Amino acid sequence: MFYIIIALSIFVLDYVLKKYIESNKQYGQEEKILNGHIIINKYHNKGGMLNLLEKKPNIIVSISGVLFGMLLLVFGLIIRRRGNILLKLGMALTIGGAASNLYDRLAKGYVVDYFSFKKIKNVVFNISDISIFIGTFLIALVSTFKRK
């Protein structure tokens, strides 16, 4: 149940932030926070990561849906097993983020991204992207160092 709450929390937090950004920020308007290290701005990503396949939204939705379904299937298989804490956490973070971005794609036709970093200003993220990145890193870490 703990891991399901984590996934739902990521989804809800990102949903609320996206709704706030959509309602309160103009496209192209920037707001710098944390001494300019983080830049808040609204961006509609119609493609995949780094706007890949922007002109092929149906392919992105299909791939996202299939991968999300596979994540849920694997998560369902491991959730009740003892141990595997980092794997379960990684899966929960990835599922929460993937669910939020997939919801955006299905409901709006694009994913709302809303912050970038000073050093890489051209790449705009959302909480789900960071959650997917951390979750995938944990899954890869566990898979790499898994006892045989």
- What helix, strand, coil percent values describe the chain, rounded to 5? 60, 15, 20
pLDDT the model gives residue 51: 63
pLDDT the model gives residue 7: 97
Tokens at 92, concatenated: 């929960």
pLDDT the model gives residue 146: 73
> Can you give the residue ranges of every domain in the chain?
2-25+50-110+127-144
| Among 144, 133, 8, 146, residue whose Cα is nearest residue 75 | 8
For the CA atoms of 31, 48, 142, 100, the dihedral, rounded to the nearest 10 degrees, stands at: 60
Q: Where are the beta strands (DSSP E) in 1-148?
A: 31-33, 38-45, 111-117, 120-125
pLDDT the model gives residue 44: 92
Angle at which helix 85-108 crosses helix 2-24, to 10 degrees, equals 30
pLDDT the model gives residue 53: 66
Looking at the annotation, which residues are catalytic?
113, 129
Per-residue pLDDT of the chain (148 residues; tens, 9 = 90+): 899 999 999 999 999 999 999 999 988 888 999 998 999 999 998 877 666 666 676 787 888 899 999 999 999 999 888 888 999 999 999 999 999 999 999 999 999 999 999 888 788 999 999 999 999 999 999 988 876 5
